Amino acid sequence: MGKVVKFKRPRRPKPARKSGLKQAAIVGAVLIAVVLLGVLYPTFAAYLDASADKSGMLTGVVRITDGDTLRLGNTKIRLHGIDAPESKQNCYSASETLYPCGSKSTAYLRQIIGKNQVYCDGQQKDRYRRLIAVCYAGKINLNAEMVRSGWAIAYTYYSKDYVVQEMMARVQGLGIWQGRFVEPYQWRRTRSSKQ
């Protein structure tokens, strides 16, 4: 028989040990992160809670700003999917008489809300930090009713939700559809370019 040759296994290099200084730095960074999280999280959580409850639902007595904007406490609310004439906007009636359609729109919203509490469901804010919401007074969907009555138009740039209500108001000649008007967003654009 031949000679038995033993093969030696190559040794694996030992993993480099982290120096004590490096380990201390990592542990220190983790401790600082934990402390900062403990200090900052309650402040951040309180900020989130103050903006709206977890569901985005707000309820209470509102102040009416104009035909598509409300204020509930410190929260400004823009009615989702609609655009109403601005407070100082005028329109033309069927007889070509100028009338304050912005004031009439605001008055109609005030009338349908009456003394009812309003509840609004919204999730997003617009660039002016207003909550975009669908709001109700009792069983009345305020957004839909403003468009159905002709005192607001469907804001189709953002939503198609109220197109049917707008067509009904237009056919019946209700609200601003009784005559001619400048669409509210165009009226705002014209006013801002003059200033």
CA dist list (Å): 38 to 33, 43, 50: 9, 10, 19
Query: Chain-centre distance of CA 101, in angstroms?
Result: 26
* pLDDT given at position 1: 57
Q: Which of 90-99, 102-111, 127-136, 183-192 has the lowest mean pLDDT?
A: 183-192
For the annotated catalytic residues, the residue numbers are 78, 86, 130
CB hemisphere CA count around 66 (13 angstroms): 16
Weakest-pLDDT range from 36-45, 84-93, 125-134: 36-45
DSSP string computed for 109-121: HHHHHTT--EEEE
Distance of CA 116 to CAs 60, 62, 67, 78, 97, Å?
A: 9, 9, 17, 18, 34
Strand, helix or coil for residue 195: coil
Task: Compare 20 and 100 and report the one with higher pLDDT.
Answer: 100
pLDDT in tens, 40-82: 544 443 333 334 444 578 999 999 999 999 999 999 999 999 9
Task: Enter the pTM of the model.
Answer: 0.70
